[in-house]
Amino acid sequence: MPHGAFGRARAIWRFGGAPAKGRANRKIAGLPDMKRYLITSALPYINGIKHLGNLVGSQLPADLFARYQRGRGREVLFLCATDEHGTPAELAAAKAGKPVAEYCAEMHQVQADIARRFGLSFDHFGRSSSPQNHRMTQHFAKVLGENGLIEVVTEKQVYSKADGRFLPDRYIEGTCPNCGYDKARGDQCENCTKQLDPTDLIEPRSAISGSTDLEVRETKHLYLRQSLLRDELDKWIDSKTDWPVLTTSIAKKWLHDGDGLQDRGITRDLSWGIPAQFPGAPWQGMEGKVFYVWFDAPIEYISCAGEWAQARGAADAEWERWWRTDKGAEDVTYVQFMGKDNVPFHTLSFPATLIGSREPWKLVDHLKSFNYLNYDGGQFSTSQGRGVFMDQALAILPADYWRWWLLSHAPESSDSEFTWENFQQSVNKDLADVLGNFVSRVTKFCRSKFGEAVPEGGAWGERERALIDDLTARIRAYEDLMQAMEVRKSAQELRAIWVAGNEYLQSAAPWATFKEDPETAAAQVRLALNLIRLYAVLSAPFIPFTAERMLQAMGTQDDSWPDDVEQALQALAPGHAFTVPDVLFAKITDEQREEWQSRFSGQRD
CA distance 266 to 224: 6
Coil, strand or helix: which one is 361?
strand
Q: What is the mean pLDDT of the chain?
A: 91
User: What confidence category does residue 11 fall into, taking pLDDT thresholds of 50, 70 and 90?
Assistant: very low
Q: How many CA atoms lie within 13 A of 502 on its CB side?
A: 20
CA distance 414 to 372: 8
Cβ neighbours of residue 6 under 8 Å, at least 6 residues apart? 115, 116, 119, 120, 121, 122, 125
Q: Which of 103-117, 293-307, 364-378, 443-457 has the lowest mean pLDDT?
A: 364-378
Residue 321: its pLDDT value, please?
98
Is the pLDDT score of 376 beyond 60?
yes
Residue 166: its pLDDT value, please?
83
192 is in an annotated binding site: yes
Q: What is the mean pLDDT of residues 298-321?
A: 97
Question: Tens of pLDDT along 147-184?
Answer: 999 999 998 888 899 988 888 787 899 999 999 999 89
Q: Considering only CA atoms, give the Rg of the chain.
A: 26
Residue 382: its pLDDT value, please?
64
SS3 content of the chain, % helix, strand, coil (to 5): 45, 15, 35
Element containing residue 79 per DSSP (H, E): strand 75-82
- What fold does the segment set 148-268 form as a domain? Methionyl-trna Synthetase; domain 2 (2.170.220)
Cβ neighbours of residue 259 under 8 Å, at least 6 residues apart? none
Out of 1.20.190.20, 3.30.465.10, 1.10.730.10, 1.20.1260.10, the CATH code matching 380-605 is 1.10.730.10
**What are the boundaries of each domain within the chain?**
41-143+292-370, 148-268, 380-605
User: What confidence category does residue 347 fall into, taking pLDDT thresholds of 50, 70 and 90?
Assistant: very high
446 is in an annotated binding site: no
Q: Which of 32-36, 496-500, 501-505, 583-587 has the lowest mean pLDDT?
A: 32-36
Residue 32: its pLDDT value, please?
64
| In contact, 128 and 136? CB cutoff 8 Å | no
Residue 3: its pLDDT value, please?
35
Cβ neighbours of residue 448 under 8 Å, at least 6 residues apart? none
Question: Tens of pLDDT along 386-420?
Answer: 789 999 999 999 999 999 999 999 999 999 999 99
pTM value is 0.89
CA distance 497 to 492: 9
Q: What is the mean pLDDT of residues 359-380?
A: 92
Residue 142: its pLDDT value, please?
98
Better-scored residue on pLDDT, 443 or 8? 443
Better-scored residue on pLDDT, 199 or 345? 345
For 17-45, the DSSP string reads -S--TT-TTPPPSSPPP-SEEEEEEPPPB
Question: Tens of pLDDT along 213-261?
Answer: 999 889 999 999 999 999 999 999 999 998 988 899 999 999 998 778 9
382 is in an annotated binding site: yes
179 is in an annotated binding site: yes
Is the pLDDT score of 1 beyond 70?
no
User: What confidence category does residue 61 fall into, taking pLDDT thresholds of 50, 70 and 90?
Assistant: very high
Q: Percentage of the chain surpassing pLDDT 70? A: 93
Is the pLDDT score of 87 beyond 90?
no
Question: Tens of pLDDT along 532-576?
Answer: 999 999 999 999 999 999 999 999 999 999 999 999 999 999 999
Label residue 154 exposed, middle or buried (CB < 10 Å: 0-12, 13-18, 19+): exposed
Q: Does domain 41-143+292-370 have CATH number 2.60.40.1120?
A: no
